Amino acid sequence: MAVKKKSKYGMGSIISIGATVVIIGLLFKIQHWPYASVFITVGLGAEAVLFFLLGIFPEENNDVDWTRAYPELADDYSGERPKIAASRAPQPAANSFSNTAALDKMLTDAKIGPELISSLGDGLRTFGDKVSSIAKVGDAGEATLELTNKVKVASASYDKLSTSFEKASANLSEMANSNIDSKAYHDQVNSLAKNLSALNAVYELELQDSSAHLKSMNKFYQNVSLTMQNFNESMED
């Protein structure tokens, strides 16, 4: 039986033509052209009739009828269902352990045993410790910079102390040459002596601090030198 060919034009095409008439009527109305009311009346009337007919006639079914290609999908199918091919489980490879065996044989031929691997691990750990010790040299550099700053401060204090001594000598000379009250003279001398003692104590503390820091730095550099020597010996081994 021949398949009936569907028409190119359907209800949707007719509705589109009616909508075109309505749009033309609106254009005439906006532009105030003649016969605008006629176009709008005819177009809206045609649209009303078409929508009425669209509600009466059944909708076209555009879905693909898969039962034509696969009859077993039909609800009233009574034949034998096709068998679904079972998926084949992946078979393990026959040489799944061949790579491991080859690796073991290669290690045995190269005489690489657990003892050598353990020794290699110990060597790597020792190397990491040595690197950590070397990293402390940066901290030593910062400590050296701090010591240099303290020495500069001590030198500045010494310069100030020398200036104070010079001023004290000048003041003593002026006081000896001037005719002032003896009590005031002794008070100024005592005050000057206290100031000089205080400056001397500050300078002494700065020197002691610098000396202690230098001793600790020398000891640290000796430890670093010993660590580097041990590291070089371990690398040679």
Dump the DSSP string for 103-170: HHHHHHHTT--HHHHHHHHHHHHHHHHHHHHHHHHHHHHHHHHHHHHHHHHHHHHHHHHHHHHHHHHH
Does residue 210 contact residue 154 with C-beta atoms inside 8 Å? yes
Distance CA 52, CA 59 (A): 13
Residue 206 lies in a domain: yes
197 falls within a domain: yes
Query: Is residue 86 situated within a structural domain?
Result: no
> pLDDT tens digit string along 121-169?
777 777 777 666 665 655 656 666 776 677 677 666 656 766 766 776 6
pLDDT of residue 237: 64
pLDDT at 27 over 80: yes
Instruction: Name the pTM for this structure.
Output: 0.25
**Domain extent at residue 225:** 114-236
The answer to whether the CB of 205 falls within 8 A of the CB of 157 is: no
The answer to the question of residue 83 being in a domain is no
* Distance, CA of 215 to CA of 217 (rounded, Å): 5
Same domain, 118 and 223: yes
Q: What pLDDT, in 10s, does the model give residues 91-121?
A: 555 455 566 777 776 767 776 767 767 777 7
At residue 79, does pLDDT exceed 80?
A: no
Q: How far apart are the C-alpha atoms of 68 and 65, rounded to whole Å? A: 6
Give the three-state DSSP class for 47: helix
- Do 47 and 151 share a structural domain? no
Residue 190 lies in a domain: yes
Q: How many structural domains are present in the chain?
A: 2
What are 188-219's pLDDT values in tens digits? 878 888 888 888 888 788 888 888 888 888 88
Query: Residue holding tokens 């010591």?
Result: 147
How wide is the angle at C-alpha 220 spanned by C-alphas 218 and 225, nearest 5°?
Answer: 95
Indicate whether 123 and 227 sit together in one domain: yes
What pLDDT, on the 0 to 100 scale, is given for residue 193?
Answer: 83
